[in-house]
Structure 1
């Protein structure tokens, strides 16, 4: 069960889903959804995840979750560069503020995780799950506070699988939620 939760709510899954959810919510027609959502998907998910998959296949990264925190800097920095390009393109495409804010949330939370992971193995799974839940609550209202149960499940799974300690998942959650909330509110 822990492995299923870790895989189903992995950062790669959430950074794929969240821009698409926000693009669908903010788009007025199929063309804008495809343009904005496709751009966000490519630069926030396809390229960053592709870098990790390539690194695993070449033997430079331990696994797709980059469990060895000493290997995290390069793929995380490459992912951040890709997200930054995506942000610039979304501005050029006149994407809605909510979608732009979601992409900035991905960038800010990713940058904070990258910085912390230079010294300590903070749980990116927990940070991204908490950030995603915070944005969903802001977009869709208090009923989505139920998403915090999924954040708790992610934290539990990471500890049960011995990929993280409780302090690492608590720190990830404590980093992701307020950064996402502040960033999203500042930009929308």
Structure 2
């Protein structure tokens, strides 16, 4: 094998890890989950899409917009907020946005499963933010594990296969040097436990 070929093979896992990290980042889950849950729970697909799109505004668009603005103004170094000490401000904006969305959707009489998944997002985001004040726990695995736990509770045990997705995300974060194994495992456990407790209590 030539040196160039060897370099190409070596870089392939890193490219895969980068793709996984971007495609399955928390903002994507936060945008997709409300839509999926709303479509499943609403009386019609059109109504579900409407509820889901409105929810995504509070759970994904505003929080991720705050991150991008912070990056643009130099408050954070990247959109994954890799430096733990930079996380508090933008995560608090995210918590506020999701909390406002939760109150609004309760007032509007949104489908109960949608309210429940927003409550899960708030709990996972708040828990991750609290831990990140002292330790860099993985938000990637926390959010994905929470989301997939909701799908198991909403749709059925077939979604337990999602543990493979969470594992892949965890591998990508460790491979890229963003987290340790302990940090991705702790994130996944936190997300799953919070979702398993909050979703049934609210729905």
Q: TM-score of the superposition, structure 2-length normalised?
A: 0.90
Question: 8 Å contact 2:59–2:98 — kept in the other structure?
Answer: yes
3-state SS of 1:65 partner? coil
2:11 is matched with which residue? none
The equivalent position to 1:124 in structure 2, one of 128, 133, 139, is: 139
2:103 is matched with which residue? 88
- Equivalent-residue separation in structure 2 for 1:147 and 1:165 (angstroms): 21
The count of residues paired between Structure 1 and Structure 2 equals 188
Residues 118-154 of structure 1: per-residue CA shift (max 9 Å, x gap)? 0010000010111011011111111111111000000
The equivalent position to 2:34 in structure 1, one of 19, 40, 44, is: 19
3-state SS of 1:72 partner? helix
The equivalent position to 1:163 in structure 2, one of 164, 170, 178, is: 178
Query: Rg larger in 1 or in 2?
Result: 2
- Equivalent-residue separation in structure 2 for 1:133 and 1:87 (angstroms): 20
The equivalent position to 2:74 in structure 1, one of 48, 59, 63, is: 59
Question: 8 Å contact 2:143–2:191 — kept in the other structure?
Answer: yes
- Equivalent-residue separation in structure 2 for 1:116 and 1:23 (angstroms): 30
The equivalent position to 1:36 in structure 2, one of 43, 51, 58, is: 51
The equivalent position to 1:70 in structure 2, one of 79, 85, 90, is: 85
Q: Structure 1: any 5+ residue segments left out of the alignment? A: none
- Equivalent-residue separation in structure 2 for 1:149 and 1:25 (angstroms): 23
3-state SS of 2:134 partner? coil
What's the RMSD between the two structures over aligned residues? Answer: 1.0
| Runs of at least 4 residues off by over 2 Å | 29-35
- Equivalent-residue separation in structure 2 for 1:35 and 1:126 (angstroms): 28
2:129 is matched with which residue? 114
Q: Structure 2: any 5+ residue segments left out of the alignment? A: 1-15
Residues 10-56 of structure 1: per-residue CA shift (max 9 Å, x gap)? 00110111111001111113553244212211111110000001111
Q: TM-score of the superposition, structure 1-length normalised?
A: 0.97
Question: 8 Å contact 1:36–1:93 — kept in the other structure?
Answer: no
Q: Offset at 1:93?
A: 1.5
- Equivalent-residue separation in structure 1 for 2:50 and 2:163 (angstroms): 31
- Equivalent-residue separation in structure 2 for 1:37 and 1:145 (angstroms): 23
